[in-house]
Structure 1
Amino acid sequence: MNPRTLPGLLLASPLLLVLLLVFAAPVLLMVPLSLHEYVAGTGISSNWTLANYTSIVTDEYYREVVLRTLVLGFGVTAICLLLGYPLAYYIASAGPAMRLALTMLVIFPMLLNLVVRSFGWIALLANRGLVNNLLVDLGLIERPIRMMFNLFGLLVGMSHIFLPFMVLMLVPAIQAIPKDVQAAAYTLSASRPRVFWSITLPMSAPGILSGSILVFVLSISALVTPRMLGGPTYKVMATLIYDDFLQTLDWPAGAAMSFALTALTLLVIGLSSRVLKRWGGAA
């Protein structure tokens, strides 16, 4: 071992020990649990089986839940990126005082409790909520539009909740772009759209990557908002895991779904990292 690395390892060892005890140990304890069978009315059987994992692939219900979770994660990420990039670009281009004020406005919703924000969207999107009542009063619709307990309600509510994370990751990346590079492009008679597509966007790829990964991971693992805006019937992987552990008490199925969610997250993160790195390098 290099003597120079020993002090760093000693300093990091308490944190590594805490991480192992608090995070790694519970995960490792769920590995044998996920390989057992749950018998209704009896409990967890001592028999070993891979059925909890194979059912995620073979069972149509589980496949629908996994696909719904992926669609939700990619949809929220895309919406946050499309809305967050122009806002982050404007914040990064503003003066110090305006930048501080706009950043505080972006951070302010995060100071409110997640449950309160979700209830706010319920009041807006319910069948007798503010949006439907306004549309009916204006004569634009005859009956309320179903905006909750479906993908639309989750996309709207979760995009609002996770948009600040995307903006806060993009602003430093855009600010880090050297101004002289853009100035040189303007000197060579490049138009603003050309400078944006050829310089600003590729050089902000690290922020896009970090923000997209963060929002995607938070979206597919979110529990409170999908439970409140999706209801008991529109399930995603996180709410299904919650129900397996605390309602049906099928802990082996919940543990297997938890590992599937973790593997899915790592796979998407790895693939997106490689794609965005190649895109940034090619650009």
Structure 2
Amino acid sequence: MSTEKTPNTPYLLTAPGVLFFAALLGAPMIMTLLLSLHSYDFNLGVQSDWTFGNYAEVIGDPYFQKIFGRTFGLALWVTVICVAIGVPEAYVLSRLNPRWRSIFLLIVLGPLLISVVVRTLGWALFFGGSGILSMVSQALGFGDEPVSLMFTFTGMTIALVHVLVPFMVISVWASLQKIDPQSEDAAYSLGASKMTVLRRITLPQAMPGILSGSIIVFALTASAFATPAIIGGRRLKVVATAAYDEYLSTLNWPLGAAIAVLLLIANIAIIVSYNKLVERRFAKVFE
């Protein structure tokens, strides 16, 4: 029996998966896009006409502009902090002996075993005016008034970093595991310092993990709902909570769909631009 591959073999092998994801993900996205192109009447509901008015309203309204700015500012800040924490943590994990590596890797990935809602509620109890943070700050004499990080940008940032930093660690650690130790040993034998080896050998080979981890963290932060909804509340809305309110509070489904589509488009544009920029910059630095 011949096992020779035909030019169409890769397409035939990937077709089932592509069709499955197209039905599971593509169909709802197309339906959301079509819904966003209808107008809405508070008395009659969703209309059968076609319009770009929802997109014009979202893009031109300073209220929504502020929400989008806050969302991507939060995503950028959380990504930077996750890189600052996750990259050194992954580097240390890759240098541990197998026994300790397994233990600390379990500690790092442990939060992923708990629901994000449960973890966020834990932070809410910690950040509240009568929570542990407030009691400790008053006990240490930092002030007589209750301290609360609920409904603050700082509180959302801390909670999201705790939720998402394991994704950064996993991505960077996977890249570091592929590095051949002999390449570092060869550099040391030629007189390179530890910083030189880290900058010229380790970091370039870890860049795919840093890049993929950054993209994952940024995308998950920009589209996060549970943590911003609990910690930020209605006082600090992000795009996901704004779309949720349009769907379930005002029942303006077309406007909520337009917000969701614009979030997707902005996310894709930022991620693709970031990917190309980082690859071009580091290609020049590490030549």
- TM-score bracket, normalised by the shorter chain, equals over 0.9
For the 8 Å contact 1:169–1:210, the answer to whether it is kept is yes
Partner of 1:26: 28
Deviation at 1:125, TM superposition (A): 0.7
Partner of 2:154: 152
Partner of 1:120: 122
- Partner Cα distance (1:43, 1:3) in 2: 55
Deviation at 1:143, TM superposition (A): 1.5
> Is 1:207 paired with 2:209?
yes
- Residues 9 and 198 of structure 1: is their aligned pair in 2 closer, same or farther, counting only changes over 3 Å? closer
Name which of 46, 52, 60 aligns with 2:62.
60
1:12-161 pair list within 5 angstroms: 12-161=14-163
Higher mean alpha-carbon deviation, 37-46 vs 4-13, is at 4-13
Deviations 1:104-124 (A, max 9, x none): 111111111111101110111
Tell me the secondary structure at the aligned position of residue 48 of structure 2.
Answer: strand
Name which of 216, 219, 239 aligns with 1:217.
219
- Partner Cα distance (1:141, 1:188) in 2: 57
Tell me the secondary structure at the aligned position of residue 204 of structure 1.
Answer: helix
Deviation at 1:7, TM superposition (A): 4.2
- Residues 8 and 115 of structure 1: is their aligned pair in 2 closer, same or farther, counting only changes over 3 Å? same
User: Identical aligned pairs, as a percentage?
Assistant: 35
- Partner Cα distance (1:194, 1:125) in 2: 42
- Partner Cα distance (2:79, 2:32) in 1: 30
Partner of 2:12: 10
- Structure 2 residue runs without a partner (length 5+): none
1:258-273 pair list within 5 angstroms: 258-273=260-275
- Partner Cα distance (1:5, 1:231) in 2: 54
For the 8 Å contact 2:133–2:148, the answer to whether it is kept is no
- Partner Cα distance (1:197, 1:220) in 2: 30
Q: Please, what TM-score do these two structures have when normalized by structure 2?
A: 0.93
1:216-255 pair list within 5 angstroms: 216-255=218-257
Deviations 1:54-106 (A, max 9, x none): 22221100000000010111111111110111110000111111111111111
Q: Please, what TM-score do these two structures have when normalized by structure 1?
A: 0.94
Deviation at 1:8, TM superposition (A): 4.0
Deviation at 1:41, TM superposition (A): 2.5
Deviation at 1:6, TM superposition (A): 3.6
- Structure 1 residue runs without a partner (length 5+): none
Tell me the secondary structure at the aligned position of residue 47 of structure 2.
Answer: strand
- Partner Cα distance (1:96, 1:263) in 2: 42
- Partner Cα distance (1:246, 1:5) in 2: 49
1:164-175 pair list within 5 angstroms: 164-175=166-177
Deviation at 1:3, TM superposition (A): 6.2
Count of aligned pairs between the two proteins: 282
Tell me the secondary structure at the aligned position of residue 234 of structure 1.
Answer: coil
- Partner Cα distance (1:164, 1:120) in 2: 18
For the 8 Å contact 2:133–2:147, the answer to whether it is kept is no
- Partner Cα distance (1:46, 1:14) in 2: 35
- Partner Cα distance (2:81, 2:222) in 1: 15
Tell me the secondary structure at the aligned position of residue 192 of structure 2.
Answer: coil
- Partner Cα distance (1:70, 1:244) in 2: 20
Deviation at 1:184, TM superposition (A): 2.6
For the 8 Å contact 1:205–1:276, the answer to whether it is kept is no
- Partner Cα distance (2:176, 2:10) in 1: 32
- Partner Cα distance (1:221, 1:59) in 2: 20
Deviation at 1:190, TM superposition (A): 2.4
For the 8 Å contact 1:154–1:226, the answer to whether it is kept is yes
For the 8 Å contact 1:69–1:236, the answer to whether it is kept is yes
Deviation at 1:141, TM superposition (A): 2.1
For the 8 Å contact 1:37–1:44, the answer to whether it is kept is yes
Tell me the secondary structure at the aligned position of residue 88 of structure 2.
Answer: helix
